[in-house]
Amino acid sequence: MHSIFRLTLLSVALSAAMAQAQTQRPDFAQVQSRAEGHVRQFPGLSMHGADHRYHVRDIVVDADGGQHVRMDRSIGGLRVIGGDLVVQTDRMGNLRAMHHTMRWQAGATGKPTLNAQRAAMVVTRTQDGTVGKPELVLYARDQVPALAWDVPVSGESADGTPFEKHVIVDAATGSQLDLWDDIHTAAATGTGKTIYSGNVTLTTNSVSGGYELRDPSRGNTYTINLKNRTSGGTIFTDADNTWGNNSTSDTASAGADAQYGTAVTWDYYKNVHGRTGIANDGKGAYNRVHYSRNYANAYWSDSCFCMTYGDGDGTSLKALVSLDVAGHEMTHGVTSRTANLTYSGESGGLNEATSDIFGSMVEFYAANANDPGDYLIGEKIMVGGGSLRSMVKPSSDGGSADCWYSGVGSLDVHYSSGVANHFFFLLAEGTNSSYGKSPTCVSGNTRVATGTGTLTGIGRNAAAKIWYRALTTKMTSSTNYAGARAATIAAAAELVGTLGADYSAQVAAAWSAVGRN
């Protein structure tokens, strides 16, 4: 509850003062002594008492020279929780108003019944985390000021977000008076006006003078503007917490796309696979957008643990910050922290396919009407339509393999990935689905599938869980397509309890349908 004590009798007209705006920085000592003078002069308004002391925390100066002096209060040397106040004066130093929430005057107090050690024990019984040194305070929030212990508790919650709690314990009775977390106070809700995903909600960080594009609720993941350079850059900041304008004319638009992609990918891995962050350690990776000039690619780097996005060359590719590309890049991080599939030969194809698979799953998970889920990669970033790759019929890009054959590993990893992408599509959706007809491989040793065999999909959620389990518990750096077949069949058999059915036969059939018997 906030009550405001207003001093109308002492008000003076502001019109004259408006003409002479005071811009220079106020003399700190003078401001403090003047504000304290007002506080002492009007104890009925300030709740001032003989042993009250004040410490200036912030000064806001209006254009007309008016001042707002924010002070914390101590009584008898004890910090008062709820004792802070703002003294508002005009440019001549006349008192205009006093704002605070303390409703009862308080003076010197006795000794606490409960000592610090017992206060800490009380908190240990009810809170997880590390209990710090209790501080004796006066608690004055909506009650007559009374002795209390402020007991700090630090640690990490299940999703990896750190907490710095304050538990306020009544120093007479041991009961809990209040509890808050200093970490959560920073999170704010903003709006991202993205290029590809419409207007989305972004959790951002409140800082002095505005906001920064950092998400305290998702491992502090953030986005940097490289400003067309290849290094350095600065985190995006904004005064009103609205990022971009749905167009590349505002550099923050691409930043909003990247930050959104990071948030959705974080949520997908956490909520679907129980993985908190790319390294499963609760820490967020970060994005760098506007890399170089006309850079028509995006990449994940293990050394910086970050994603980098180019603006595209404008002739074949637009800015590479779409949702599926974001999910693709971050999945490279997941792979490097798990199977670490070597980025060459068949393992390299499996590495790329893993990123295409989960990049697509992230797109489905977002359920964003501006970028609906599909089995195409990069369909949003093509100049003139099309997509970078298709999981329905990988060879439609002119380079990817639909089917496994001896020697498929000598293709570029973005082409040998086609076999696993095709496998995943057939397992999830089958040969005939609303996402298109997916032909099977006739005898194996053909790069382009032309078969007409029929498979029924098990659903993408089941297929994704099988692939994730295979990736994180069975595949290793040199796993090839034969190994991937064995790993996914084993994973499917182990997931009977989770999926409610044993899909290992369907997994085997889908591999056979892409020529990897």
Q: Which residues bind Zn ion (CB under 5 A)?
A: 355
Residue 471 is encoded by which pair of tokens? 């990736």
Residue 357 CB, nearest distance to Zn ion (Å)? Answer: 11
Nearest to 58 by CA among 85, 21, 18, 98: 85
Phi and psi, residue 332, nearest 5°: -55, -35
Burial grade of 220 (CB within 10 A; 0-12, 13-18, 19 or more)? middle
The catalytic residues are 329, 414
Q: Which is nearer to Zn ion, 241 or 338 (CB)?
A: 338
Give the integer Cα–Cα distance in Å for 465 and 462: 5
Please state the closest distance from residue 328 (CB atom) to Zn ion, in A.
Answer: 6
Distance CA 412, CA 343 (A): 10
- Comparing CB distances to Zn ion, the nearer of 197 and 355 is 355
- Identity of the residue, 244 or 348, whose beta carbon is nearer to Zn ion in the bound complex: 348
Structure tokens at 370: 């501006």
Q: Which is nearer to Zn ion, 163 or 343 (CB)?
A: 343
Min separation Cβ 176 and Zn ion, Å: 51
CB of 377 to Zn ion, least distance (A): 9
Q: What's the number of CA atoms in the CB half-sphere (13 Å) around residue 492?
A: 23
Closest distance of CB 227 from Zn ion, Å: 25
CA dist., res. 445 & res. 406, Å (int): 7
CB 393 within 8 A of CB 438: yes
Burial class (CB in 10 A: 0-12, 13-18, 19+), 191: middle
Q: Which single residue is written with the structure tokens 């299940």?
A: 158
**Strand 85-89 to 67-75 pairing:** antiparallel
Nearest CA among 132, 136, 141, 137 for reference residue 163: 132
Shortest separation between residue 352's beta carbon and Zn ion, angstroms = 5
> 222: which residues sit within 8 A by CB, 6+ positions away?
205, 212, 213, 214, 215, 235, 259, 284, 286, 287
> Which one, 98 or 377, has the nearer CB to Zn ion?
377
DSSP 382: B
Q: What is the DSSP string of 231-246?
A: S--EE-EESSSEE--S
Closest C-alpha to 45, from 98, 86, 106: 98
Q: Which is nearer to Zn ion, 89 or 322 (CB)?
A: 322
Q: How far apart are CA 289 and CA 266, in angstroms?
A: 18
Cβ distance to Zn ion smaller for residue 17 or 408: 408
**64 CB contacts (<8 Å, ≥6 apart)?**
14, 17, 18, 20, 21, 22, 90, 91
CA distances from 117 to 80, 112, 114, 133, 167 (A): 21, 12, 8, 9, 14
Instruction: Answer for the pair 243, 251: CB distance below 8 angstroms, yes or no.
Output: no
Q: Which residue is nearest to Zn ion (CB)?
A: 355
- Supply the minimum distance, in Å, between the C-beta of residue 397 and Zn ion: 14
Give the nearer residue to Zn ion in terms of CB position, either 275 or 328.
Answer: 328
Cβ 327 to Zn ion shortest distance, Å: 11
